[in-house]
Structure 1
Amino acid sequence: MTSTVYITRKLPGEIVDKLTNFFNVRMWEEEHVPVPKEVLLQEIANADGLLCLLTDRIDQEVLKNANQLKAICNVAVGYNNIDVDAAAAKGIVVTNTPRVLTETTADLTFALLMAAARRVVEASDVLRNGEWGTWSLMQLTGQDVYGATLGIIGLGRIGEALVKRAKGFDMNVLYYNRTRKPEKEQELDIQYAELKELLQQSDYVSLLLPYSPGVHHMIGNEELSMMKSTAILVNTSRGGIVDEEALYHALRDGKILAAGLDVFEQEPMPLNHPLLSLPNVVALPHIGSASVKTRMQMAHLAADNLVKVLYGEEPITPVW
């Protein structure tokens, strides 16, 4: 009997065709609207496999309806949208898509750093709004990147890739990680620093750690107050790591200079969010891995994981 898989968002045809070769495929046909929970609850009841996005909350309520589910394949590196413990208790394999988005996300992280440092979006708005009167010496002056100090919080694959970009700008790199990595210090020419020291010394602070309840609001009032008034915060990990209210006040009051943000606690971000009112915030709609090549690789990897699990093989990138 052919297994049934459910895809929670409209995906490119070649991904759907790949799965159709093996399974009975059902799919939510909207590309820009998440599947409603009531639809997901209904569909998962008869699904053997689930291909989902990080916007889909696969919690205990959903899993309770999963009568025959064997695999949940997330098209993302992070998987905090999935109750992994509840899935494991039911024997459901969970997979993610690491490695394939490392370089693309590091590119975007450095682009955000550069854009915030040199006030790129703000300057573009000045031109587009007809506010560019003439050249003046200090107009739209920003901060140098070359030779500055970068502090990386979370030295995983993306953090290591970011170091390589920073070294091209002759940056001094500090890192803080739950587990110190002496071999990487030598290999990448970087220095370990405790969190307080990193925040105090860095001109740029990049957040690249996975989200868990233990790091919720890791960057709040106290941490922001440790940073230089000329420092710039860049977050391309998960929004919940930063206390957004504290960040707003720090940016508004000049406690830090600017922020480059690709992720937020609530996504999509409400247009009336206070952070969007600040000219010293570069805000993007979670596009860290958004190159055509990378997004297709992520989708293919998730699909390949699904095929392997439902055919009784070991997945390529299991979470557990």
Structure 2
Amino acid sequence: MTSLSRLAILDDYQGVALEMGPWSRLPGLKVEAFHDALADEDALVQRLLPFDAILGIRERTPFPASLLQRLPNLKLLMTTGERNRSFDVAAANAAGITVCGTPSAGAPTVDITWGLIISLLRDLPAQTASLRAGTWQASGKPNSIGRAAEGLTLGILGLGKLGTRVAKVGQVFGMKTIAWSRNLTTEAAAAVGVERVDKATLFERADVVTLHLILSPQSRGVVGADELGRMKRDAVIVNTSRGPLIDQPALIAALTEGRIGGAGLDVFDREPLPTDHPILSAPNTVLTPHLGYVSRQNFAAYFEGAVETVEAYLAGTPVRVLTP
């Protein structure tokens, strides 16, 4: 009979997993949540060796073959969401480990994307700080007078599920919407009211650039010095997908030298972001700690789904099984 004794929940940064999940439905399972992130593989092995079930929150902790091979007690590996590119599913299967996903709720990354865009366009963080400091309507720099979204051009890299929803919001604001990705066709873009352009043209025309691409060897560094150099001096760029899509040193240089208007980032080349990372001191930025998928609705769906997954596994009928 299939059995499990200990479940580890990893990278519960905000300390909410035990409170938000219906873990009481698993009385025979000891559930432990960890709130820090361990990058060192030896430290991870030492921590995880006693557990036969593990839940990873998105891609916060990768599970490459080298790690999986050192966890002989592991039977069930779960990820929140329906896929996880940082899990070596083939290696897990070869080691006899079942890998499963969970449902998610909606597309909360769209909210964060627009929060960053509006914050940049209307200079909201600086205006808020100035008001708290006693100044009514801060001035003294060109972008202290905010820009309305209406009439601006929104350039979208990646017109998939999220990119399309971001485009629709932009259209409601009265923005012109253009898009590029390697496989995007003119017909597919037109079907959602978006103009397909080449990548160079997108960076030259857009007032706001937003990224909605999957990280892959082909997309890593898709925005580099050349693309940033084509942007208007007051244009802003927003990334809520994956940090390495943008060449970080090139972005920091463009911001520091005032060659672009600003950047809104929810994702970074290193996460959690080190306290001495140079992006933290770059000007004209709005930075959030990878909150795109972090919502009450999403976490409730994740943890409910994880309990369902454990129940199904114990019953011998695993659900939402991931394949290589």
Which bin holds the TM-score, normalised by the shorter protein? Answer: 0.7 to 0.9
- 1:105 equivalent in alignment to 2:109: yes
Could you list the runs of 5+ residues in structure 2 that have no partner in the other structure? none
One-letter code aligned to 2:263: A
CA deviation map 1:13-49 (0-9, x unaligned)? 452525615x523424x4x323675564246545443
SS at 1:50 equivalent: strand
1:34 aligns with 2:40: no
TM-score by length of 1: 0.85
**Matching of residue 82 in structure 1 with residue 87 in structure 2:** yes
Q: Indicate conservation of the 8 Å contact 2:20/2:300, yes or no.
A: no
Measured after TM superposition, the shift of residue 134 of structure 1 is: 7.5
Residue segments in structure 1 that go unaligned for 5+ positions in a row: none
The corresponding residue for 2:18 is 12
Counterpart residue number, 1:221 = 225
Cα 1:139–1:116, aligned 2, differ >3 Å: closer, same or farther?
closer
Q: Percent identity?
A: 29
Establish whether residue 292 from structure 1 lines up as the match of residue 315 from structure 2: no
Contact 2:190 2:196 in 1 (8 A): no
TM-score by length of 2: 0.84
Distance 1:19 1:39, change over 3 A: farther
Deviation at 1:276, TM superposition (A): 2.0
Q: Distance in 2 between matches of 1:77 and 1:195?
A: 30
Q: What value does the CA root-mean-square deviation take over the aligned residues?
A: 3.0
Q: Is the 8 A contact 1:98 1:317 kept in 2?
A: no
AA aligned to 1:12 is L
3-state DSSP class of the match of 1:297?
helix
CA deviation after TM superposition for structure 1 residue 280, in Å: 0.6
C-alpha change, 1:131 and 1:300, in structure 2 (3 Å) is same
Cα distance, 1:171–1:89 mapped onto 2, change above 3 Å? farther
Quickly say closer, same or farther: Cα 1:313–1:212, change in 2 above 3 A.
Answer: farther
Q: Which residue of structure 1 lines up, in the alignment, with residue 240 of structure 2?
A: 236
- Residues in 2 aligned to 1:287 and 1:125: alpha-carbon distance in whole angstroms: 22
Residue 62 of structure 2 is aligned with which of 41, 48, 57? 57
Q: How many residues align?
A: 316
* 2:158–2:180 Cα contact (<8 Å) kept: yes
Q: How does 1:175-194 map to 2 (within 5 A)?
A: 175-180=179-184, 184-194=188-198
User: C-alpha displacement at 1:73, in angstroms?
Assistant: 1.4
Letter in 2 for 1:230: D
Aligned equivalents of 2:198, 2:75: Cα separation in 1? 42
**Aligned-partner SS, 1:215:** coil
Secondary structure of the residue aligned to 2:55 is: strand
